[in-house]
Amino acid sequence: MQSPLLSVENVTVSFDGFNALDGMSLHLMPTSIRVLIGPNGAGKSTLLDTIIGNVRPASGRVVFKGEDITDLNEYKIVRRGICRKFQAPGTLENLSVEDNLNLAARPRRESWRSFGVGIASQVRARVERVLERTGLKEKRKSLAGQLSHGQKQWLEIGMVVSSDADLLLLDEPAAGMSLDESAQTAELIRSLSSDHSFLVIDHDMTFVEQLDAPVSVMHMGRMLKEGSLNEIQRDPQVISVYLGREKEVAVA
Residue 145 corresponds to which amino acid?
Answer: G
Residue 52 corresponds to which amino acid?
Answer: I
CB 228 within 8 A of CB 238: no
Cα–Cα distance for residue pair 147/80, rounded to 1 Å: 31
- pLDDT of 88: 67
- CATH fold of 6-91+165-251 reads Rossmann fold (3.40.50)
Q: What are phi and psi of 198, to 5 degrees?
A: -125, 135
Strand pairing report for 59-64 and 6-15:
antiparallel
- pLDDT of 250: 38
CB 42 within 8 A of CB 98: no
- pLDDT of 246: 39
- Ramachandran class of 118: left when φ > 0, alpha when ψ lies in -120 to 50, beta otherwise: left
- pLDDT of 71: 94
The domain locations on the chain are: 6-91+165-251
- pLDDT of 247: 45
Write down the pTM of the prediction: 0.88
- pLDDT of 108: 55
- For every one of its 252 residues, what pLDDT tens digit does the chain have, with 9 covering 90 and above? 689 999 999 999 999 889 999 999 999 999 999 999 999 899 999 999 999 999 999 999 999 999 999 999 999 999 999 999 876 667 889 999 999 999 888 765 444 445 545 567 788 888 999 999 999 999 999 999 999 989 999 999 999 998 889 999 999 999 888 999 999 999 999 999 999 999 999 989 999 999 999 999 999 999 999 999 999 999 999 988 886 643 432 333
